[in-house]
Amino acid sequence: MIKGFKNAVELDFSVEENRLKMEEAFRQVEAEKGKVYPLIIGGEKIETEKKITSLSPATKEVLGYASSCSRELADKAIQTADEAFLTWSRTPAEERIRCLKRLARLVEQNRFILDAWNVEESGKNWGEADGELCEALDFFNSYAMHMANLDKGLELIPTDEYTKCIYIPIGVGAIIPPWNFPLSICGGMITSALVTGNTVICKPSSDTPIVAYKFVELCLKAGFPEGTVNYIPGAGSEIGDYIVEHPRTRFINFTGSKAVGCRINENAAKVAEGQKWLKRVVAEMGGKNAIIVDSSADIKKAAEGIASSAFTFQGQKCSACSRALVMADVYDELVDEVVKCAKNLKENQGSGASNAPMGPVINKGAYDSITGYIEVARKEGTIVYGGTYSDETGYYIDPTVVRDVDKDARIANEEIFGPVLAIVKVNSFDEALEIANQTEYGLTGSVYSETRENIQKAKVEFQVGNLYFNRKSTAAVVLQHPFGGFNMSGTDAKTGTSDYLTNFLNLKSITEDLN
Ligand code: NAP
């Protein structure tokens, strides 16, 4: 069934044509800066008085203003999506798939401008932004393929009766994405719901409302009918609980922090007056991902993998490595190699170059929180590289390597979501596994080892949703490494798969007596 699916290929920006197109896209972005973006409800564009300001994390300049949705307008959006559901849920899957394929085409056609907005709004470099766009395309193409298959229904054993078991859509979904993958996570969450015949309201992250707006516009252009996808930015603290608790909300698809995910899960469990269902919650949350390095590992390769996992996109990937658990006999060598890699990554950081290996962290709140952890790190270990930061122009934090960290230290257990790596010394592989599993999270993990026994042991005992060997813990590819975590990392939804789509479907079993 997977035959014929091909992952999208990232652009090579060393090719002059690509570089020039990207520069042109940045000129277009420049010309659009400061614009006001309305809500989109039932296709109607509504400007509100209250605005959310989108700021560049690299320069703090204003990129644009998103209208902020009130509770009244959020209610209107949910009612609108509810009405649209009546028709969309009965629209043949074939037509829904056609819209999704057309959307993939439009995203490809708008590739450079979407990449450029992503760079500006999330602070990614060009390669990271285009990698994200490829992931988005992979989600759209895989969901189109899976839906065509699910539309055949469940295979049953033949009987004398006429029997059928079909997948049907469930209702209005509240889509609540994070800022760190404003195109692929937001887009994947929206399209998985739409292609399965549901309708959505999307409350994007307050840090990246423009990328989400551009995407929703493309959804409408692709032919998803007005009302099926509604765009309602607003502070999570103001309208978040409201949309989650609304009686017509049928499911919530959330990706973000553990704290907000737990709150949503709790709020969604309450049955509101007039509510006729138990809400489904898909919640993909944080991580405290570990990479284990044993004595038999290729140390240079391990160091490169650790540094890349810990510091690219400033450590702001849920899959980022933030703990390295290293055997004592290779500890010093590994630390030295990681420091060398961190030095290379720092090149051009803070220069304002949007294509430097490392850029800014997302906002002042993140900057304050991460630098606070760096101050904790000074007490909990020895900073051997980095530990320096500046918010003079944008929110820049140097890649920070901390050695001699105790396994129970805060920086070895709490999600920092920034470029801070704690390196813990271990005396055995068993001890490494025990420490790796001691956090409440269970998202990604890697092991660098040439010892089969250790590899086999980790396959069974390392409790994470995405486990890698002799490879970094980031850069999961759709349908190669289905993504989703255990424990407090979430509901293990495994994005990009057919299983993922069944979160937004009911199975209806139909039987007719033929006598
Ligand atoms: P966040 O603070 O939890 O926000 C996520 C979304 O929830 C935002 O749209 C936010 O809106 C909204 N929100 C806030 N309060 C809410 C409430 N009471 N009810 C409903 N929605 C509410 O997370 P973030 O800072 O955007 O993203 C970083 C986190 O996401 C990290 O923990 C990272 O590990 C995790 N993450 C996980 C995955 C995964 O696949 N497991 C992928 C990416 C990121 P506002 O922006 O308006 O506050």
Task: Say which of 219, 318, 321, 341 is annotated catalytic.
Answer: 318
pLDDT at 1: 57
The one-letter code for the residue type at 501 is: L
From the number of C-beta atoms within 10 Å of its C-beta (0-12, 13-18, 19+), residue 471 rates as middle
Atom of ligand 1 nearest to the CA of 485: 41
Q: Residue 348: its pLDDT value, please?
A: 63
Q: Write the CB contacts of 482 (distance below 8 Å, at least 6 apart in sequence).
A: 476, 494, 495, 496, 497
Mutate to test the pocket of ligand 1, among 255, 262, 415 (most ligand atoms within 8 A of CB): 255
Residues 6+ apart with CB under 8 A from 305: 291, 446, 448, 470, 471, 472, 473
Return the pLDDT at 356: 85
DSSP state for residue 229 in the 8-state scheme: E
Residues 6+ apart with CB under 8 A from 336: none
Burial class, 437, CB count within 10 angstroms (exposed 0-12 / middle 13-18 / buried 19+): middle
CA angle 35-52-70, nearest 5°?
115
Distance between CA atoms of residues 170 and 188, nearest Å: 18
How far is residue 195 CA from its own chain's centroid? 19
pLDDT on residue 155: 95
Residue 495 Cα to ligand 1 middle (Å) = 17
Mutate-to-test residue for ligand 1 from 176, 239, 362, highest number of ligand atoms within 8 A of CB? 176
Distance 79 CA to ligand 1 centre (A): 24
Residue 77, CA distances (Å) to 65, 131, 208, 494 in order? 20, 32, 20, 28
Active site residue 186: no
- Measured in residues, the chain has a length of 515
DSSP state of 191: H
Cα 345 from Cα 171, distance rounded (Å): 46
* Whether 65 contacts 52, CB under 8 Å: yes
Q: Is 363 in the pocket of ligand 1 (CB under 6 A)?
A: no
Q: What pLDDT score does 355 carry?
A: 81
Cα radius of gyration rounded to whole Å, the chain: 23
Model confidence, pTM: 0.98
| Distance (Å) from CA 416 to ligand 1 centroid | 14
Cα maximum dimension of the chain: 80
> What pLDDT does residue 4 have?
81
284 is catalytic: yes
Sign of the alpha-carbon dihedral angle for 56, 60, 65, 67? positive
| Contact status, residue 35 vs residue 64, Cβ threshold 8 Å | yes
How much is the pLDDT for 258? Answer: 98
**Catalytic entry in 120, 245, 284, 415:** 284
- For each of the chain's 515 residues, which pLDDT tens digit applies? 578 899 999 999 999 999 999 999 999 999 999 999 999 999 999 999 999 999 999 999 999 999 999 999 999 999 999 999 999 999 999 999 999 999 999 999 999 999 999 999 999 999 999 999 999 999 999 999 999 999 999 999 999 999 999 999 999 999 999 999 999 999 999 999 999 999 999 999 999 999 999 999 999 999 999 999 999 999 999 999 999 999 999 999 999 999 999 999 999 999 999 999 999 999 999 999 999 999 999 999 999 999 999 999 999 999 999 999 999 999 999 999 999 999 998 876 666 667 888 999 999 999 999 999 999 999 999 999 999 999 999 999 999 999 999 999 999 999 999 999 999 999 999 999 999 999 999 999 999 999 999 999 999 999 999 999 999 999 999 999 999 999 999 999 999 999 999 999 999 999 999 98
